[in-house]
Chain A
């Protein structure tokens, strides 16, 4: 299977920028925003050049594996430095359905708590502001997260209720200008975004950048964080992720979700964890593991212009090769073009070439 080459990536990213005009109209953003998008809607001084970030793809057969050691090793391999730092883990915990796999697996979250402690963190909390449920304790309990956190003596913080602080935005993909974010997120030395590897019915895929939506408090932005949807979903993904800038990412792809994600999709065993220090690079790699072309995921390719590294050739890939680790995730028909090897994908590799 051929990896995406740089020329293809840049070509397709360019197509997506033009195509985003339709997204802007659909979400009520209008011409002004499109013009800004074609410009450079971010403060250059606020974002360092992304360089060549390390991203690790680790094969993990099941949640019964020694996750604590795998996570500890994975964080070391991407150069995480946690000694003496306060750490906030942000798993994906949207709502609960016993018949599918919406949320980051609680076993992985608990193992990460232990691994982070082993790496010398001064403190670790697990925090989330569920987007589809106001009754957070119900979701924490029903999902099994509460019990797992109790096992490792870790505290859960409901970000929908936490005290807030104003954070001016240094990117302007939406017209929000500022976000009011929970102080535990802003005050943590290290934020680790821990998404579930899922397809997304509006954005193509939901990974470490989209997972940052859970940091945005429902008591201001509503349930399901609808104000952000009105600001433009993918535009808001970029602005929120660039405000939070998660320091580390661990994508739970041991079992992911394909099809009509992020809620009503189907479990798919991808058998991987993806570790990184750059959310754009991590999401770009995780998309490839899902068999999706990252240059076709608008928020990833746009964020690759300033927030992080989206170009596969400029990502220092360690561990497993993303293409060799690929599990081709089914997508809704509207996202068929995202699949690597699709007719319009430019890779020239048909569906039979996956995996």
Chain B
């Protein structure tokens, strides 16, 4: 065990810091949806041009081919520099891309991965349905095969960035009459195809960041199936394993930054003299340190064995709940100021309201606890 970074890694950190220092302008992501997407794409392109996109993605698809440790160093420096949120590129960079790297054909990888890295293609997720939330295997959106095409009918919901996405990681039932985890396929669905209708849904934070998507005889080439027909569950699980493994490193790193800012705010306002606030800040600072240690442990496990350790599912749950505790602390420190919040504001109140997603999206905290109890402790499956 060693917490020290190698001279090479330290050098890499300095490079990251220098570039971010020169290139992060402090310009905020616009609130207007269309402007925000342009902003996200332009920023992603700048990252790509400077060699900071896909740091640990394979070189042949536009990545840097470096280690996951360097990816973490980049994210730490990124958070420290207050660089822009990844925004609409989240799904492509953190879900779609890594899933393609693991499961896709050569042609699929060659086409899609560089476009994701360059910020040219926005991706969205298509897993949840109105009747298939925590019980994801209850998926009913289906596709029949006609010649060399799939014809998709049904609906998906809670789809972030659906209104601006070019592609969707869509899980559909491709075997008629199949049950549960069987007969599903993971498909790259073109979001501009005829028959797709996107109905945006406003969140309680005021933002329109997700939507319900309807499919009416949407034609998708069979070539867009990833990992083979009928293997959709397996491919989808590999997508989710990023969430439980390394997909949320950016959030974990950001939390270290946030707790220091909260502490600073509490000191300058004098709120830290309040015993209850001091006690909570002590707890948060210790927990954030532990989260970093867990992240490092998980990363070094990936370096050593090629996959996250069994405790990766714990990290996912802990990160999401710790993030909410930080948002609630920020709210507490702000006092009655929060009452002036209006839709359109992008501030700590918006973060607090948006933060409820952390323990719902990508597997609720309750499902995460089931997983931990069943896989880590071996308790009987209740589903």
Query: Are A and B co-members of a single complex?
Result: no
B residues with a Cβ closer than 8 A to A are none
A residues with a Cβ closer than 8 A to B are none
